[in-house]
Structure 1
Amino acid sequence: MKSLVAPNPGTVDEARRPERTETDTAAARRTPGAGGPLASFARFVLLGGSVGVASSASVAVLAGLMPWAAANALITVATTLLGTELHARFTFGTGRAGWRQHWQSAGSATAAYAVTSAAVFVLHLVRPSAATLYEQAVYLGAAGLAGVGRFLLLRLFVFAGGRARPTKRGTGLAPTRRAGTQVSALFPVPAV
């Protein structure tokens, strides 16, 4: 039986689509954000640091309108959503973040929130009238330390599955050839 969709073996269409090796397939799946741990960490620091500096300024502004812990919580939620998308796309190269990644990232962000809040709370215990500059230095230092832990969690657990996920149909990869069968784009058909 012949496939109505796939070209016959040896035709010009098949010659234009060479078989790809496992290495080629893995490279095709990878987006520009994928890479080794050092490259990922550099992108994590650049993106996370930028979001962190922006969140630090935002917390300082909102702390004038509400309690510091509430301002930190509000900014943490907003920056976690933004950061998770940025890290999924550019840091770890997995494309858009799904609900699972957002929830797992929220768990690590909750730990980071606890670390930054505890650090500023201790500062206020030691220096009740600490200037905003001291607050910002403590906040950013604690956020940096928490960020290293977040990087490890995100790389090893949250986005680890995205790098090894098999490709989906329609990626432009050549169909697989097995002995005795011809694989079409829509369904397998026995070869004659």
Structure 2
Amino acid sequence: MSTSDIWVGSNPISMVGTRSAGFAATRLRALAGDGAFAQLVRFALVGGASNILYFAAFLALRGDGALVANAVGAVLSTILANELHRRLTFHAADRVNWFTAQWEGGGLALVGLIASSAAISALGFLLPGADGLLQAGLVIAVSGIVGGLRFVALRGWVF
């Protein structure tokens, strides 16, 4: 038995690593809560996952044109994000049904689609030879800005 062990009843229990394990467990419990910071972290994680889907769809479809690829990628990633936000980010599956989340969240995403389409059009005008990676990067940057505004709207209005 070492100096980091304590006695509980008749059994020694090691305290080695308890502080760091307790700290991690406390942080994980905090992220599972319904506070604004926890929701923002989960919102960002969901956004990252849906952006991966968007990016893959955009690259797969850019041969059909950047605007088509953007629209399809935005629709697919929005459906995924709205459902994950409903269930995970805002814990609203019991308060908001699937259709409402898609309709209201989709309306907010439409604003993002318009902004990203405008950015792609501007990029095409300013840099006509821009490749798909630059186009996708621009859209993701615009989506990040719109995403912050979307978080506030989803938290206060939809969920």
Q: Equivalent residue for 2:80?
A: 82
Q: What amino acid is aligned across from residue 36 of structure 2 in structure 1?
A: P
Q: Equivalent residue for 2:155?
A: 155
Question: Structure 1 residues 33, 107: CA separation in 2 closer, same or farther (over 3 Å shift)?
Answer: farther
Superposition TM-score, scaled by structure 2 size: 0.74
Structure 1: state its 5+ residue gaps: 1-31, 160-192
Q: Equivalent residue for 1:114?
A: 114
Question: Structure 1 residues 84, 107: CA separation in 2 closer, same or farther (over 3 Å shift)?
Answer: same
Q: Equivalent residue for 1:132?
A: 132
**2-structure distance, mates of 1:138, 1:77:** 18
Question: Structure 1 residues 131, 71: CA separation in 2 closer, same or farther (over 3 Å shift)?
Answer: closer
Q: Equivalent residue for 1:73?
A: 71
Q: Deviation digits for residues 120-156 of structure 1, max 9, x if unmatched?
A: 1111111000122211221110111111111111101
State whether residues 48 and 83 of structure 1, in contact with CA within 8 Å, keep that contact through their aligned partners in structure 2.
Answer: yes
State whether residues 53 and 140 of structure 1, in contact with CA within 8 Å, keep that contact through their aligned partners in structure 2.
Answer: no
- 2:139 is aligned with 1:142: no
Question: Structure 1 residues 49, 84: CA separation in 2 closer, same or farther (over 3 Å shift)?
Answer: same
State whether residues 53 and 76 of structure 2, in contact with CA within 8 Å, keep that contact through their aligned partners in structure 1.
Answer: no
Give 4+ residue runs of structure 1 displaced > 4 Å after superposition. Answer: none
Higher RCO structure (Cα 8 Å, ≥6 apart): 1
Question: Structure 1 residues 33, 75: CA separation in 2 closer, same or farther (over 3 Å shift)?
Answer: farther
CA RMSD across the alignment: 1.6
Superposition TM-score, scaled by structure 1 size: 0.62
Structure 2: state its 5+ residue gaps: 1-30
